[in-house]
Copies of this chain bind each other. A is one copy, B any other.
Amino acid sequence: MKDNMVKTFQEEREKLNRLISEYAGKEIKRFLNLDSQVYRDDILPARTKEMMGLVASLVLRCDDCIRYHLIKCHENGITSAELEEIIAVSLIVGGSITIPHIRRAFAFWRELTGTA
């Protein structure tokens, strides 16, 4: 059973994305379009790109971005052992200032993987 944290995140995200769509002009729409295209399977697999998106989100310390990429990593079959290494790299690059985000990332992951 998926827990509340994941569901709440996804519902809130969808609601606010609809809101962006209402306000967005041509440039914002094009950017959002690009933002989804850039993670697609191409020379590098989507799986690798989602890992990269997660690393970027961790070192830039954005919880919502981290959650989004954790969901995509999970959908792309990334394992808990792989996640641990992604987080280790991010922690070493970004330092202890990333720890609160890492704590919340593991809590979210635990819900995602149903091991809570």
Neighbouring B residues of A19 by C-beta, 8 Å: 103, 106-107, 110
Q: A86–B27 contact, CB under 8 A? A: no
Neighbouring B residues of A51 by C-beta, 8 Å: 44, 48, 52
Q: B65–A100 contact, CB under 8 A? A: yes
As a 0/1 sequence over residues 30 to 51 of chain A, the CB contacts with chain B under 8 angstroms (1 = contact) are 1110110111001110001101
Can you pick out 20 interface pairs between chain A and chain B where the beta carbons lie within 8 Å of each other? A16-B107, A23-B106, A25-B85, A27-B88, A34-B92, A43-B79, A43-B84, A49-B85, A52-B90, A55-B56, A56-B97, A57-B97, A59-B59, A62-B100, A63-B100, A65-B96, A65-B100, A91-B95, A94-B97, A95-B97
